[in-house]
Structure 1
């Protein structure tokens, strides 16, 4: 009975079954033998699912994603597809069970499933469909016999819609293909459930003879897949000139757009296939067409550094100054990607170096940002300095932001203003309100860049938050020294957090050598002893002083009471006393000095009267000035004393 049930199933698949000629007894015996020797197959009674194998393909319409918004220091590019973009996906609204399948990989060979009974119950055994096997191995006579057999349905599809004609195109069986088309001409333009025609499959596998057979039989050469990629587009993607030539000879459409708006010329330009580009242009390909991001083939060639293709497109009249959707030009992209020869060619053909994108940056800006000093040198002359100023940002800012020292040197020699400041619009992008290239170098702790800028005349006092404060906060004595030597205002305050003492002390007191250096070179010390409370009671000390509270403390005695600083209060006061005359310590300072017995000597030092030698030193400094001390006709030891380079009086 069970064998009879199995036979009824086989009868429905008579034309495809390997077992259609077996008797019931033979089928039962086969089932018993397999149940004893084989592992039972999957019990599913359906045809097996196809492999979902994707071919990894590069595509020209997927430009590098290194461009962002206006927020520095990121790069800028808006013509990139979304991060999750895939050329293998069906377009929006395409709802199929296999929307992510687009490579022309064949499915598992056509199989039939039979339910057989064995000693351990029912099991399913699957066999490759004879017609598909014959095509795969190239058995033409067998294919012919099966194709011409009465009742054979050549239009029957397996799960992914793979027909016999696709099988022949995939394996390059052109004779089998002819047999199939002779038996069933109507199948020539049928597509798989993934949208692939037999012609697209043949092109993808570089099966030129199959392509020729299909074209001779009248296939529609312009049928696209779900990504709207035509056979011509795929041939350009595969860089197969012979395939492209055959397709063009049959009059295929050359300006068809894929789902992302790219044409075959885009693809050929990206892959630097000069021969294919020449064929496409001769066949009427339009070099002015752009994709959904506004990218033309010329832009693609410049972006990917394809010099020969760029020359060809320019010879055919391509617009050298065409802009993408984000305003970028071919010159901009070539500069961004470091293609020196491309930049040189574009400039020789009068490419406009003064066109900026929506971000407001010029090619010179992005070249400085990328660090290509050679490209920067080429762009300086054709770039208008007034146009640079209009952008609100100097290439010096971008060079220093990225520590491009070679570029910085080139720009300084070319005469770019080292004191150029960011426009108000760009300045708002930075929380610290930085505005000069010098600030960028200081905050990057790039001493070489700081030195170059200062030597070129950079003013260290232009930023709201002075570079000297940044250097002191970083504890970089070399940068502090450079800034002070070039006129940095030691006594400047922070407008947003004013104090009664120099703001730089907020960041330098933990580094006593730096603190003393600042005092030696003009830092005010007397203001540190000004306290409105004097000997009277002070407000309670905040034991959880935050960084913001610290910056808002306007009196020195309150600032050194912060938990992170009070442990150095004694040595700090001791250093300050060397730079003042008669002063009175407020009750808060006295509390600090009383908190540690070792600091009692500091209290004695502050007690009046101050030594006459100290008072004389202060008077001389006030009358002569620190910069003129070395010119005085005095012994070296005395000069050192006046400069607070302490030594014994015996050295005078």
Structure 2
């Protein structure tokens, strides 16, 4: 049993939700209606203003006949409604009492009317008055041709009298497929043959929609106009193509139906047939003069429809009949572009075999290879059954497009397919593009880079931003430069705390002393992003990060001014923000890092010689008794071994230090130079 729904404009719906199916499945139609009424009363009382009317039960009809017992825990506590007249009285229908009238249909299809007061409470719920069925309509629906013939001859029979939907007996005969009745009616009233319903449907349109071929033939023989459209401006021929009925299409064409008439969206009968890949009907339309390149309101031609829906047979037929292979829609997309977008591998293969232009961009500037590279961007693909098949199909499309695509044309677009593949985590496509020789260091054009707040430029940045280690590895091994972006990808990896990606970038030459141009600091920004990850901090120091700059404070031992909270000019345009370099002692004094100050300073002291801690750093180390040893560690003079280690590391340089194991140097000295002479727990 479907749930009953009561709805009206401006009032809250009263629903028996579909979740209640098992609870109310034993109720009759009248009982279900009664339950909907009672719930409406309860809702009106609960949401009422507390007046006497809102508390008084509303008089309602009681369903006649015995009522079956409701399921347990369901309707046993429902109050018995008082009786009332079956039809609204003159008093209740008075406009001063009546607010609105709404309709709903029960699960058995019974139409009901709800009368409500101004406060939203229900006044009356009664069955909707059923329209009286004319005898001739009943005879037509039952196929009683003899009775129809007799009724037509009676003086009181009005064949032009419409019902509430504007249907006359001729429409009914077309609907029920009664071709003999059609002949009888038209013999009596031939002028009504093209009369339309309120939805502007002729009897011919109704017969075509219902696929009553005999009725269609009868109406056409009697002179029905085959080009009269419905409200959507669809012709009977269009509907016949939608139904994929070749016999009906042939009949309409034989009686002169206009083959190029378009619907409200600009689609012709040929558009519809191509979309359904019905080559037989397409050929019939073409022979009747259908235009193969007629666009709809969006500039979409039938060949575009065929490519979009992957209909190779229809596509082949259109090209055979002179369709323009490289025509473009209003958004600049070509048939090849759309086939790539929708992942139709066979269609792409066919279009390329017919020399489709793979270097025609859409209005966005993207080529078919771009749209194929980013296809499958929905993250749910990774959890859907058949995802592997989709990936293989997309990879095959890319492989077919590569030899047909000009790399110079790709460069002019300002974006590489590598960017899109990396952005959408399409590692399979990324691998194919790298093997094909696409530039792994291609930069986004300035206008495309400005679309991102961080001004990213390289495919490597996209991969690191997505924490995609596999993609980052592929790009770096192929020669990607990790230092081309304004915001270094290493800083992204450090901010995410991804040790694997960070070490990968450092091993391939990422700048461990990277700064942020828009937020100047007196020390490397890489230190700031890994303060909470001491293992990463030590790794950066081992690889040449500048620790000494962290101790160069402009205030030294003098008292430091209080740290100012800088306002964001985006939200406070009146606030003037000074572009002063932020110092290490200011950053470590923030709430996020102050609790880590001691261990952080301890790590940094291992990579510097003589330094003097500023007043603020001393304050941090004095705040915990356990950090006193760290403070003592910074008191000069530093041990000679520490000074020697720093000197040797500086002379050798980071590149030589990484290859020191190849030199004839004692292992103990190697460990000493790499700060591995003792285990450190962080």
SS at structure 1 position matched to 2:443: coil
How many Å separate the matches in 2 of 1:634 and 1:129? 110
Residues 216-295 of structure 1 aligned to structure 2 (within 5 Å): 216-295=221-300
Give CA-to-partner distance per residue, 1:453-502, whole Å, 9 cap, x none: 00000000000001000000010011100100000011121111111111
When residues 596 and 611 of structure 1 are mapped into structure 2, their CA distance, relative to the original with a 3 A threshold, is same
User: How far 1:505 sits from its partner (Å)?
Assistant: 1.3
Corresponding residue of 2:423: 401
CA displacement, residues 342-382 of structure 1 (integer Å, 9 cap, x when unaligned): 11111111111110111000001001111511111111111
Task: Give the equivalent residue in structure 2 for 1:530.
Answer: 552
Alignment partners' CA distance in 1, 2:248 and 2:188? 26
Of residues 331, 336, 339, the one that matches 2:341 is 336
Aligned twin of 1:326? 331
Deviation at 1:542, TM superposition (A): 5.0
Check conservation: 2:139, 2:147, Cα contact below 8 A.
yes
Gap runs ≥5 in structure 2: 1-62, 67-83, 91-108, 112-127, 377-393, 571-576
TM-score, normalised by the number of residues in structure 1: 0.80
CA distance in 2 between partners of 1:631 and 1:563 (Å) = 45
Alignment of structure 1 residues 377-456 onto 2, 5 Å: 377-456=399-478
**CA distance 1:200–1:609, change in 2 (3 Å):** same
Give how far 1:165 is off.
0.7
Q: Does 1:641 align with 2:641?
A: no
Match of 1:609 in 2: 637
2:612 and 2:478 map into 1 onto residues whose CA distance is 45
Distance in 1 (alpha carbons) for counterparts of 2:619 and 2:153: 110
User: How many Å separate the matches in 1 of 2:568 and 2:333?
Assistant: 46
Contact 1:447 1:479 (C-alpha < 8 Å) held by counterparts: yes
Cα distance between partner residues in 2 of 1:40 and 1:251: 59
Runs of 4 or more consecutive aligned structure 1 residues displaced over 4 Å after TM superposition: 35-45, 123-126, 542-553
Task: Give the corresponding residue for 2:620.
Answer: 592
Residue 224 of structure 2 is aligned to residue 202 of structure 1: no
Counting only pairs closer than 5 Å after superposition, residues 152-191 of structure 1 correspond to structure 2 as: 152-191=157-196
CA contact (8 A) 2:668 2:677 kept: no
Rounded Cα–Cα distance in structure 2 between residues aligned with 1:540 and 1:186? 95
Distance 1:42 1:130 in 2: 26
Instruction: Assess, with a 3 A threshold, how the Cα gap between structure 1 residues 216 and 555 changes in structure 2: closer, same or farther.
Output: same
Q: 2:363 aligns with which of 358, 379, 385?
A: 358
Counterparts of 1:125 and 1:302 in 2: how far apart (Å)?
A: 49
- 1:561 maps to which of 589, 602, 609: 589
Maintained 8 Å contact 2:395/2:428: yes
Higher relative contact order (CA 8 A, sep 6+): 1
CA deviation profile, 1:254-304 (whole Å, cap 9, x unmatched): 000111111000000001111110110111111110100000000000000
**Alpha-carbon offset, residue 211 of structure 1:** 0.4
Displacement of 1:242 in angstroms is 1.3
Return the offset for 1:635. 2.1
Q: Which residue of 2 aligns with 1:574?
A: 602
The CA distance in 1 between the partners of 2:274 and 2:356, in whole Å, is 19
Equivalent in the alignment of 2:98: none
The 5 A counterparts of 1:466-477 are 466-477=488-499
Q: List per-residue Cα deviations over 1:109-166 (Å, max 9, x = no partner).
A: 9xxxxxxxxxxxxx97864221111110111111111122113211111111011111
For residue 622 of structure 1, the aligned residue among 640, 644, 650 is 650
**Gaps in structure 1 of 5+ consecutive residues:** 1-34, 46-106, 110-122
Superposition deviation, residue 177 in structure 1: 1.1
TM-score (norm 2): 0.76
Task: Give CA-to-partner distance per residue, 1:56-96, whole Å, 9 cap, x none.
Answer: xxxxxxxxxxxxxxxxxxxxxxxxxxxxxxxxxxxxxxxxx
TM-aligned CA distance change 1:282 to 1:195, over 3 Å: same
Distance 1:460 1:157 in 2: 77
Q: How far apart are residue 528 of structure 1 and its match?
A: 0.4
* Partner residue, 2:663: 632
Task: State whether residues 40 and 124 of structure 1, in contact with CA within 8 Å, keep that contact through their aligned partners in structure 2.
Answer: no
The aligned length equals 541
Does 2:150 match 1:145?
A: yes
Q: CA 1:205 to 1:595, structure 2 compared with 1: closer, same or farther past 3 Å?
A: same
Q: Is the 8 A contact 1:298 1:313 kept in 2?
A: yes
Distance 1:543 1:467 in 2: 28
How far apart, in 1, do the equivalents of 2:238 and 2:177 lie?
20
SS at match of 2:374: helix
